[in-house]
Amino acid sequence: MKGKVVFVMAAAVAMLWAGVAQAGVIWCDDFDSYQTQAELDAVYTQLYTPNEFLLDTTDGHSQGNYPGNCVHPTAPNVNYERRMYKNLGVEAAGTDAMPLEFTVWVKLSAGDDWWTREYIEIRGYTGSGYGDGDLEELIALGCTSSGVDTTKYNARVVTGNNWFDTTVDKSTDWVKLTAMVKTASVDIYVNDALDVSSPRAPGFTFDSVVIGSGLSSRVDVKFDDLCIVEVPEPATLALLGLGGLFLRRRRTG
């Protein structure tokens, strides 16, 4: 009987490990690998050429002892509408067992809070990428100017609360914004602290990331260290550990 228990436990652990093996990085970019605008444009599709979303090689979020690169929409004294996207090549879901973690670092220039309209999105369409079919789901992190508290960072869940506020004031320092996407909810973190949550309709996936609002904004907003990853919940990892512990005890018993 003990042999059967060990076999069943081993099979369960193997299945769980198989699920975890499918998790991991979907797309991460610190923008430091690009030396020129042309190199950035080769990876992301620009929507408003020749007004590309711009590479900044002087003011990225600090990674050690060098500033690194970032991206932003506004050239000096110019307020063009800029936006770019990248298809992820997968249909990323986000579930309670395997949340989808969408993170970006954001830095605002000084200016009018009420007219800041720059954000970054993950999107899901009925097709396989940006603009392919109907938009099903969209989650945005950053700042907007309509129907929100314009002194705070904002977030958006199209199938949930649409645009809503965090409790954190805008800053000219780098700030980390994270959306933890689960089956029927999205938790918004600011600098790794849980801030607000929104419901969302279950079942929709994400196939693209969009950088920039494509709208005019009086405040320049810089984005860096974008990352979209699948993260197993602690309960799943704990179960894997428990299974491994059980097997080790059985072998030494």
SS in 3 state form for the chain? CHHHHHHHHHHHHHHHHHHHHCCEEEEEECCCCCCCHHHHHHHCEECCCCCCCEEECCCCCCCCCCCCCEEECCCCCCCCCCCEEEEEEEEECCCCCCCEEEEEEEEECCCCHHHCCEEEEEEEECCCCCCCCCEEEEEEEEECCCCCCCCEEEEEECCCCEEEEEEEECCCCCEEEEEEECCCEEEEEECCEEEEEEECCCCCCEEEEEECCCCCCCCCEEEEEEEEEECCCHHHHHHHHHHHHHHHHHHHC
Number of residues that this document lists for the chain: 253
* 234-252 and 2-21 helices, crossing angle to 10°: 140
Residue 17's pLDDT is what?
39
Q: Minimum mean pLDDT among 78-87, 90-99, 185-194, 241-250: which range?
A: 241-250
| 99, pLDDT greater than 80 | yes
Average pLDDT over residues 93-115: 93
Mean pLDDT over the full length of the chain: 85
Which pLDDT band, with edges at 50, 70 and 90, does 43 fall under?
A: very high
Which pLDDT band, with edges at 50, 70 and 90, does 250 fall under?
A: very low
| 155, pLDDT greater than 50 | yes
Residue 110's pLDDT is what?
87
Which pLDDT band, with edges at 50, 70 and 90, does 235 fall under?
A: low
**Dihedral pair phi/psi, residue 187, rounded to 5°:** -95, 130
pLDDT in tens, 120-141: 999 999 999 999 999 999 999 9
Stated pTM of the model = 0.84
Where do the structural domains in the chain lie, given as residue ranges? Answer: 1-23+233-253, 24-231
The answer as to CATH 2.60.120.200 being correct for domain 24-231 is yes
- Greater model confidence, 181 or 79: 181
Which pLDDT band, with edges at 50, 70 and 90, does 8 fall under?
A: very low
- Tell me the sheet residues that pair with 106: 175, 223
pLDDT in tens, 169-205: 999 999 999 999 999 999 999 999 999 999 999 999 9
